[in-house]
Amino acid sequence: MLDATRIEVMLDHLTTEARNPASERLDSLTPLELVRLINEEDARCAQAVSEVAGAIAKGIEMIADRLSRGGRLIYIGAGTSGRLGILDAAECPPTFRSDPSQVLGLIAGGPSAMLKAVEGAEDSPKLAEEDLAKVNLSSNDVVVGIATSGRTPYVLGALDYARSQGAYAIGLACNRDALLSSRADLSIIPVVGPEVLSGSTRMKAGTATKMVLNMLSTGAMVLMGKTYGNLMVDMNATNTKLTDRAKRIVCTLTDLSKDKAGELLNRCGGEVKTAIVSYRLDLSPDQARSKLQAAHGHLRRALDGAAISNGKV
């Protein structure tokens, strides 16, 4: 357990806690100057993420492998870090038609901390262990511990518990030599430098974190066959906008009108991939589902495999 004195010493040496020379006169800038400065600093995020591309790619491979074998992706963090994990998890079901239990987000202090800070929750490693135990963490899962400082006790406790249970532990931080690196199987450390507002890691560090989480979940879902090219073919059409998008995707991959695409989707239970396979291969919805299952859910493999079996290569 980290004591208060040691935490203070560690904070003194964190890049994310340092003063940014470019913003030392922040309170003297005009609104336009503020915007330009923040935008210039935000541009550093993409470069910082690019420098850890190899680690992110490794994370994508591990997540896709565990999810394909029935495991889960579990984000866990405190404050902004926890909220970003919950946000990314919440977007997976509508985007990829994933089961809501497949990608989870946990935050120190529980659901109420999503909207209001729960003081002291991030300082308890034991609380993280309890939170992971409540969701029945198993060796099939991947835990992504998010802490821009790299030393949040709640996140360190989560990573320690994850490894003790055989889960694959990924640590995500924004400071070099982050303490969580010693607690993780894989570390992803985009170093974005001091914030425009000193210590406000909801800014650049938060932006870089969001970028990495987008890559991890989207990359894993792509490897699992949730897309066809750059089309969202495994989406869950839960509102008017998404229903219209589903129709447009079917139209793009068939020669059907939007009305006919809508009728086909209705026959296929709203499943975009099933509708496309059904039409392209002249199969019933159930036969199309079987074809997709044989291709492990990959639309391209289902369509290409049928073409090869028919001598069309």
132 and 248 co-located in one domain: no
Specify if 251 maps to a domain.
yes
pLDDT of residue 250: 96
Q: Cβ of 81: how many Cβ atoms within 10 Å?
A: 32
104 and 196 co-located in one domain: yes
Averaged pLDDT score across all residues of the chain: 91
Cα 132 from Cα 150, distance rounded (Å): 19
pLDDT tops 80 at residue 158: yes
For residue range 201-253, list pLDDT tens digits in order.
899 999 999 999 999 999 999 999 999 999 999 988 888 998 999 999 999 99
For residue range 242-297, list pLDDT tens digits in order.
899 999 999 999 999 999 999 999 999 999 999 999 999 999 999 999 999 999 99
SS (H, E, C) 141-181: CEEEEECCCCCCHHHHHHHHHHHHCCCEEEEECCCCCCHHH
Cα 68 from Cα 197, distance rounded (Å): 41
How many domains does the chain contain in total? Answer: 2
Q: Assign 9 a pLDDT band (cuts: 50, 70, 90).
A: very low
196 and 302 co-located in one domain: no
Cα 34 from Cα 22, distance rounded (Å): 11
> 16: domain CATH number?
3.40.50.10490
The three-class DSSP label of residue 306 is helix
Domain boundary among 223, 253, 282: 223
Specify if 38 maps to a domain.
yes
Specify if 230 maps to a domain.
no
pLDDT of residue 4: 45
Residue whose C-alpha is closest to residue 17's, from 201, 165, 213: 201
158 and 95 co-located in one domain: yes
127 and 31 co-located in one domain: yes
121 and 12 co-located in one domain: yes
Query: Which one from 40, 41, 51, 91 is the annotated catalytic residue?
Result: 91
Q: Cβ of 280: how many Cβ atoms within 10 Å?
A: 16
138 and 287 co-located in one domain: no
Query: Which one from 61, 119, 122, 271 is the annotated catalytic residue?
Result: 122
57 and 162 co-located in one domain: yes
Taking 3-state DSSP, the helix, strand and coil percentages for the chain, each rounded to the nearest 5, stand at 60, 10, 35
> What are residue 305's phi and psi, to 5 degrees?
-65, -40
For residue range 16-69, list pLDDT tens digits in order.
777 777 778 888 999 999 999 999 999 999 999 999 999 999 999 999 999 999
pTM for the structure as a whole: 0.89
Residues 6 or more apart whose Cβ sits within 8 Å of residue 64:
219, 220, 221, 223, 224
Q: Assign 307 a pLDDT band (cuts: 50, 70, 90).
A: low
193 and 245 co-located in one domain: no
144 and 270 co-located in one domain: no
Q: Cβ of 299: how many Cβ atoms within 10 Å?
A: 25
Q: Check if 17 is active-site.
A: no
> What is the rounded average pLDDT of the residues 83-102?
95
84 and 171 co-located in one domain: yes
Specify if 232 maps to a domain.
no
Domain boundary among 223, 255, 276: 223
pLDDT of residue 311: 47
Q: Cβ of 228: how many Cβ atoms within 10 Å?
A: 20
Range of the domain at 97: 4-223
Domain boundary among 169, 197, 223: 223
> What is the rounded average pLDDT of the residues 86-96?
95
Specify if 245 maps to a domain.
yes
143 and 268 co-located in one domain: no
Q: Check if 91 is active-site.
A: yes
